[in-house]
Each structure stands twice: as C-alpha cells, then as structure tokens.
Amino acid sequence: MSTRLFVSGALSNDAELVLQGEQANYLGRTLRSRVGDTVTVFNGDGGEWPASIEHIGKNSVTLRLGAVVESATESPLKIHLVQGISRGERMDFVVQKATELGVSRITPILTHHGMIKLDQKRADKRRQHWQHIAESACEQSGRTQPPRIDEPVALNTWFGDRDPAGTMEIVLQATATASLVSLSAPTAGLCLLVGPEGGFSEREYEDAEIAGFQAASLGPRILRTETAALAAVTVAQSCWGDL
C-alpha cells in the first residue's frame, strides 16, 4: 500500500502541495523517497489524492496531486466512544485501536475513580496528542476521516451538555443482565460509555441510568478498561457495522 499522509487544509486536483517539518523529514530521510515516487494524501473530508513527488529539498518535499479518489473505508455505524481516561499509554492505545476499528468520535472523561487530573493546559495538550494518534492510525488503516477527539471533560458535565439526538446510549457494566450482543440494532448512532481502570462509582452508574443509558455487559469476565472499550466497539461493528 502507498504511503499515506494526513494533511490539514484544502486539497484539490492537480494542485501543488509543499510538506515541511515532520512529514518532509519522514519522506525525505526516513523513507529515502525519490522524485517520481508516489504517496497518498487526505485531509479528513472523505476522499484521498494520489500524489507524486516533484522536489525534495533540505526541509521540504513538494507533491503534485492527482485526481481525488472517493473512499469506502468509513463505517456506516457512527460510534461515539466516551472513555474514562486511564494512566500511561492505555488511553493512547484505546484511541489508536478505536480509530482503526472505525469509531467516529471519542470523548475522554474524568471520573470519580479515575487516576488522572488535568488542568486546562494539560487537557488541551493531551487532546492534541490523542488527535495526532488518531490521524496516524488513519494513515495506517486506510481511513480518510479521523475521529473527532473532544476536550477531556468531567462525566457529570458531559451528561448535562450532550445531545443524544436519537443515539442509542449504552454504559458497560459487568453486573448488567443484558449483554451487548443481545441488544437491538441502533436506528441512528451508538454511544458507548466505558469506565476507567477503577470502573464507575455506584453514583455514576445511577447518573448514567437517570440520563437514559442502558446497562450492558461483555460477558462473565472482568475486562481491563482498554480491553472493554475495544471489545465493545468490535462487537458493535460486527453486529451492526461493517466488520
């Protein structure tokens, strides 16, 4: 498969595109690309452009775009993953793999049992970091539309601000009597609410129920937060999406 690069800004047929910084270094030094080599670029609008390398400079690479190619890699099931923030690289892992599995939006949430505390500056840096991970995962997986990564927010604040708009809302709970696979197919999108490493508190489960979320389990075993999130997305895509 051709090297794929996510770029910001507008793209058009037969346009010249100058890459600088990390992407220019990746093509010129890491891959040791040559003039005439081909790559694929996309900007999140849904299509992708084949491109040929016209010039390789010390700090830049110039591409000539071909004609846009429409992609069919986006899932028909719009999944919004609302994920309790976990420590270390676990959240990075969830963002990367959820992107590969076709999730369209990820909201990181701060919870009662969560170990992570973020001020506004750190929260913005983490969001940018996760967005970059999602864009890189799109490059690898063939997707053309990176998922939207929201600013980290407290769970109760998110409950009050959200707009369900007909979405089926599910909270994962190990003690739930209904399994995720047994639920009826969503008529619009699907929102999956997944707790952090310590799980949700009883009050948070109660708040989710009051907010209209249906509890569902993933079977008899207790899963780590990153395992639960990806297992739930996989089940949903298998039952109602494109896996």
Do residues 105 and 66 both lie within one domain? Answer: no
**Cα–Cα distance measured from residue 114 to residue 199, given in angstroms and rounded to the nearest whole number:** 8
Q: Specify the higher pLDDT residue, 121 or 158.
A: 158
β-bridge mates for residue 17, sequence order: 63
Backbone angles phi, psi at 179, to 5 degrees: -95, 155
Do residues 116 and 191 both lie within one domain? Answer: yes
pTM for the whole structure = 0.93
The last residue of one of the domains, among 50, 70, 90, is 70
CB burial readout 56-94, b (16+ within 10 A) else e: beeebbbbebbebeeeeeebebbbbbbbbbbeeebbebb
**CATH code, domain carrying 24:** 2.40.240.20
Do residues 61 and 140 both lie within one domain? Answer: no
Do residues 102 and 194 both lie within one domain? Answer: yes
Per-residue model confidence as pLDDT tens digits over 35-55: 999 999 999 998 999 999 999
CA-based angle 34:37:38, to the nearest 5? Answer: 145
Instruction: Give the DSSP letter string of 119-185.
Output: -HHHHHHHHHHHHHHHHHHHHHHT-SSPPEEPPPEEHHHHHHH---TT-EEEEE-TT-SSBGGGSPP
User: Which domain does 181 fall in, by range?
Assistant: 79-240
- Is it the case that residue 221 has pLDDT exceeding 70? yes
Do residues 204 and 92 both lie within one domain? Answer: yes
The last residue of one of the domains, among 14, 35, 70, is 70
> Rounded to a whole number, what is the distance in angstroms from the first to the last CA of the chain?
21
Per-residue model confidence as pLDDT tens digits over 124-176: 999 999 999 999 999 999 999 999 999 999 999 999 999 888 899 999 999 99
1 falls in which pLDDT band (50, 70, 90)? low
Do residues 142 and 60 both lie within one domain? Answer: no
Q: What total number of domains does the chain contain?
A: 2
* H or E element at residue 40: strand 38-42
Give, to the nearest 10 degrees, the angle between helix 90-100 and helix 120-141. 40
Torsion angle, alpha carbons of 119, 204, 172, 191, to 10: -60
Do residues 125 and 204 both lie within one domain? Answer: yes
Do residues 102 and 182 both lie within one domain? Answer: yes
Do residues 146 and 193 both lie within one domain? Answer: yes
Do residues 110 and 44 both lie within one domain? Answer: no
